[in-house]
Chain A
């Protein structure tokens, strides 16, 4: 099914392509899945070496300019933000819209295993599942990526070889991020050398909460450089530790200013992970950032999204906040593990009219 895998196109990371330069691709009537297949082919890589050269480059000139910029962002009213997220959560997505959303959600999953107990066998099983999520229906789209620790990247790479599924690796002393910069960079380099297509880094929340924004910025910049020409960088804020929505908005802009390809809510390792409200807020941030700089950045909510119903609600947030340009696994991901099986069961139910149950999906 997934025959369109022309590999990554290469283009200079800077200057940023303007949004309007994105040209519509060929439209075919080959059905919904070839559309997804084309999307996977678009998981392109962006080489980088220099700091960003966009309209906001000046704000990172010094600690004080950066602080002034971040603190000058409009505040977030928590009650209003949560009310908006809840209101979008009441959208009723049925029939054809549901089928579209479920397949889109499957194609956006970063299938994740981040356990101390991970073994090559476990990672291979995960890779196989990412490539063929539904053993009974090979028309199911592949997931966007598998997400593993750096030492498992090589195994994962082999497991998904030739499928178009990316391998993402958490790095930078995940999940706490409490290590020296050299150690974090070595972590990143190892993952990239092993073939990781994407790096999921954690920011130094301690430095952020202490107001040392430039330190956080410089660290992201360094990690971005260590990612080299081919790996896309996802920057994890651990929103549950940043605690306030104002902080999440500031962190989002900080990450985007430093060249993040994705901004990501959380590690999945703390009490509060992705929520509709914090994801809505980050979607507003990428929308506004693109409006100001022309640079499009992806969003990845991670942790706590377990049901199809939840996933569809997140897609509604994407659709009505950032807009249709983000409804693509190049720009939006779900960091999840158990979500995939629920999506597959709902997909089977839509196709057959019956709910097959957990014995008809793979347990890994």
Chain B
């Protein structure tokens, strides 16, 4: 029987998104009171593209005085902004949402350059969600009387917001949209390694004609963030980032009247029962831990698989991982981009080595890493137990720890046996089992037969060391209202 192998594979030609849609200036100042200004003392820092280590721009490093200037601008703007009828505030938010949609290609390319994540994700996930958040909270601005907090709930004042580098623009939207809708003004500090999209957002605010001082952006490192959090005239602190920094912030604001929400780390359990839709579960596991290179606080970094289907599932998972395309984040066919920074890469590398040293079995698909930039191959650890470091510590990278269970009770016990409690996933074709297990899991977000799905209408937040307070949905309003 003539069964000659076909002679060539289907090789996708490079399909890079054009860089020319975004114009990055050689340097950026701080955005205070509607203007870009230099930092006191003129200190700057560089921001690089993680996929090439190319310097993209120089950004001002805000000192304590600059933070103070920004907070004073926000305080000054608060009086008029909070007095505006909700419908008027909504107009600005709707306008911002529309401008983001119109400029989404530019912002997606910018975000990919500065963060290292694939253009596929910024284009299809980040940017649509950013616009959706502004649209959603624009809709609440004139309906706060009906949000369940009594008549005419009042804003808090000036919100100091500190956001991470994994979803720079999306975390900005999660913070700024509800704050403005409820009548607060904000000073936001983007992460040190990803300041650019927030500075472009400042331009969006100007384009939308937002009154001066309502949104202020101060760039810098942890010291800038600490100064913002400690500023005595800030009424509300919102932080998304690591649990260690979150604890520090909690100590700083303790004893003050500042309202605090923290969205911190996680070690999400993705539980796959033997009656799961296997092919879709594999997709969910992949998006759970390899979306955004696993640099997601709610990542499904622990796979809990029922022992009876372990081999079948792992075979399918490995086969699927072998099809992932790692490389140039601007290529439209790239599935796995760069790790955000050398520092993060070192942390992931160290934890993966620890996993191996503690006896877990490491596996990665055949995968060539680019020679410059920060890269880590998708990695899977089997033979992991609850006692392994990689089963307990948040790795914040493309590393999946595979554990097994025998019964639903054991699955729940293992899923809950963590200091965190941000997310979990349940895969089963049995609705009653999904409901029974979900009710016992101590996690803020529980996905069933899907993972890493976000929507502005749905509240998001954690249990235990994953933080407190909710963002998104009606619940997300509460964090910015004096209720």
Q: At the interface with chain A, which of B6-14, B154-162, B461-469?
A: B6-14
Q: Which of B307-362 contact A (CB under 8 A)?
A: 323, 332-333
Q: A79: which of B120, B276, B323, B450 is its contact (CB, 8 Å)? A: B450
- Determine whether B279 belongs to the interface, using a CB cutoff of 8 Å to chain A: yes
Point out residues on B near A: beta carbons under 8 Å: 1-15, 120, 124, 275-280, 283-284, 323, 332-333, 429, 449-450
* B2 near A74: Cβ-Cβ < 8 Å: no
Point out residues on A near B: beta carbons under 8 Å: 9-11, 17, 21-25, 27, 35, 38-39, 41-42, 44, 46, 74-77, 79-81, 83-84, 90-98, 100-101, 104, 284, 315-316, 319-320, 324-325, 327-328
Given contacts A17-B3, A22-B3, A93-B15, 19 further A-B contacts (CB under 8 A): A9-B2, A10-B1, A11-B1, A17-B1, A38-B4, A42-B2, A75-B276, A75-B277, A76-B279, A77-B277, A77-B429, A80-B277, A91-B333, A92-B12, A92-B332, A94-B13, A98-B13, A101-B10, A327-B9
Which residues of chain A are within 8 angstroms of B13 by Cβ–Cβ distance?
93-98
* A80 near B280: Cβ-Cβ < 8 Å: yes
Q: B283: which of A84, A96, A101 is its contact (CB, 8 Å)? A: A84
Write the nearest CB–CB distance from B456 to chain A, whole angstroms: 19
Which residues of chain A are within 8 angstroms of B276 by Cβ–Cβ distance?
74-75
- Can you list 7 contacts pairing A with B, beta carbon distance less than 8 Å? A21-B3, A42-B3, A77-B277, A81-B280, A100-B10, A315-B10, A328-B6
A79 to B11, CA, bound (A): 29
Write the nearest CB–CB distance from A173 to chain B, whole angstroms: 32
A83 to B452, CA, bound (A): 13
Write the nearest CB–CB distance from B285 to chain A, whole angstroms: 11
Which residues of chain A are within 8 angstroms of B280 by Cβ–Cβ distance?
76-77, 79-81, 84
* A284 near B279: Cβ-Cβ < 8 Å: yes
Q: A324: which of B1, B6, B15 is its contact (CB, 8 Å)? A: B6
Q: A100: which of B3, B8, B449 is its contact (CB, 8 Å)? A: B8
Which residues of chain B are within 8 angstroms of A9 by Cβ–Cβ distance?
1-2
* B4 near A22: Cβ-Cβ < 8 Å: yes
A107 to B102, CA, bound (A): 41
A39 to B15, CA, bound (A): 29
A274 to B97, CA, bound (A): 37
Which residues of chain A are within 8 angstroms of B3 by Cβ–Cβ distance?
17, 21-23, 42, 44
Which residues of chain A are within 8 angstroms of B277 by Cβ–Cβ distance?
74-77, 80
Choose among B11, B12, B124 the residue with the greatest number of A CB atoms under 10 Å from its CB. B12
Known: A39-B6, A80-B449, A324-B10. A44 touches B1 (CB 8 A): yes
* B332 near A90: Cβ-Cβ < 8 Å: yes
Write the nearest CB–CB distance from A59 to chain B, whole angstroms: 17
Choose among A92, A315, A324 the residue with the greatest number of B CB atoms under 10 Å from its CB. A92
Known: A80-B277, A90-B124, A97-B13. A327 touches B6 (CB 8 A): yes
Q: B10: which of A25, A76, A90, A97 is its contact (CB, 8 Å)? A: A97
A110 to B13, CA, bound (A): 27
A101 to B11, CA, bound (A): 10
A104 to B9, CA, bound (A): 11
A284 to B10, CA, bound (A): 18
A96 to B4, CA, bound (A): 23
What 8 A-B pairs are tightest by C-beta distance, nearest first?
A80-B280, A25-B4, A11-B1, A92-B15, A92-B332, A75-B429, A77-B280, A77-B277
A84 to B284, CA, bound (A): 10
Q: A94: which of B15, B279, B284 is its contact (CB, 8 Å)? A: B15
Known: A74-B276, A83-B283, A90-B124. A327 touches B449 (CB 8 A): no
* B283 near A27: Cβ-Cβ < 8 Å: no
Known: A9-B1, A9-B2, A92-B332. A35 touches B8 (CB 8 A): yes
Write the nearest CB–CB distance from A304 to chain B, whole angstroms: 22
Q: Closest A-chain residue to B313, C-beta based?
A: A74
Known: A77-B277, A80-B283, A80-B284. A324 touches B9 (CB 8 A): yes
* A24 near B5: Cβ-Cβ < 8 Å: yes
Write the nearest CB–CB distance from A295 to chain B, whole angstroms: 12
Which residues of chain B are within 8 angstroms of A327 by Cβ–Cβ distance?
6, 9-10
Which residues of chain A are within 8 angstroms of B279 by Cβ–Cβ distance?
74, 76, 80-81, 84, 284
A79 to B447, CA, bound (A): 13
A71 to B409, CA, bound (A): 26
Q: Closest B-chain residue to A284, C-beta based?
A: B279
Which residues of chain B are within 8 angstroms of A17 by Cβ–Cβ distance?
1, 3
* A93 near B12: Cβ-Cβ < 8 Å: yes
* A41 near B120: Cβ-Cβ < 8 Å: no
Write the nearest CB–CB distance from A309 to chain B, whole angstroms: 14
Which residues of chain A are within 8 angstroms of B284 by Cβ–Cβ distance?
80
* B450 near A80: Cβ-Cβ < 8 Å: yes
* B323 near A97: Cβ-Cβ < 8 Å: no
Which residues of chain A are within 8 angstroms of B9 by Cβ–Cβ distance?
319, 324, 327
* B2 near A41: Cβ-Cβ < 8 Å: yes
Which residues of chain B are within 8 angstroms of A319 by Cβ–Cβ distance?
9-10
Which residues of chain A are within 8 angstroms of B10 by Cβ–Cβ distance?
97, 100-101, 104, 315-316, 319, 324, 327
Q: Closest B-chain residue to A291, C-beta based?
A: B315
Which residues of chain B are within 8 angstroms of A25 by Cβ–Cβ distance?
4-5, 7
Q: Closest A-chain residue to B276, C-beta based?
A: A74
* B2 near A44: Cβ-Cβ < 8 Å: yes
Which residues of chain B are within 8 angstroms of A24 by Cβ–Cβ distance?
4-5, 7
Q: Closest B-chain residue to A82, C-beta based?
A: B280
A46 to B278, CA, bound (A): 33
Write the nearest CB–CB distance from B10 to chain A, whole angstroms: 4
* B5 near A22: Cβ-Cβ < 8 Å: yes
A9 to B449, CA, bound (A): 47
Which residues of chain B are within 8 angstroms of A97 by Cβ–Cβ distance?
10-13
Which residues of chain B are within 8 angstroms of A104 by Cβ–Cβ distance?
10
Write the nearest CB–CB distance from B349 to chain A, whole angstroms: 29
Which residues of chain B are within 8 angstroms of A83 by Cβ–Cβ distance?
283
A80 to B280, CA, bound (A): 5
A104 to B7, CA, bound (A): 12
Choose among B4, B278, B332 the residue with the greatest number of A CB atoms under 10 Å from its CB. B4
Write the nearest CB–CB distance from B235 to chain A, whole angstroms: 41
Known: A75-B277, A97-B11. A92 touches B333 (CB 8 A): yes
Choose among B1, B6, B277, B323 the residue with the greatest number of A CB atoms under 10 Å from its CB. B6
Write the nearest CB–CB distance from B291 to chain A, whole angstroms: 11
A77 to B32, CA, bound (A): 49
Write the nearest CB–CB distance from B274 to chain A, whole angstroms: 9
A10 to B1, CA, bound (A): 6
Which residues of chain A are within 8 angstroms of B275 by Cβ–Cβ distance?
74-75
A140 to B332, CA, bound (A): 29
Write the nearest CB–CB distance from B368 to chain A, whole angstroms: 18
Q: Closest A-chain residue to B4, C-beta based?
A: A25
A97 to B14, CA, bound (A): 9
* A42 near B450: Cβ-Cβ < 8 Å: no
A324 to B10, CA, bound (A): 7
A25 to B332, CA, bound (A): 33
Which residues of chain B are within 8 angstroms of A328 by Cβ–Cβ distance?
6
Write the nearest CB–CB distance from A245 to chain B, whole angstroms: 9
Which residues of chain A are within 8 angstroms of B7 by Cβ–Cβ distance?
24-25, 27, 35, 38
Q: Closest A-chain residue to B14, C-beta based?
A: A94
Write the nearest CB–CB distance from A70 to chain B, whole angstroms: 15
A319 to B332, CA, bound (A): 17
A75 to B309, CA, bound (A): 14
Q: B449: which of A44, A79, A90, A320 is its contact (CB, 8 Å)? A: A79
Write the nearest CB–CB distance from A126 to chain B, whole angstroms: 27
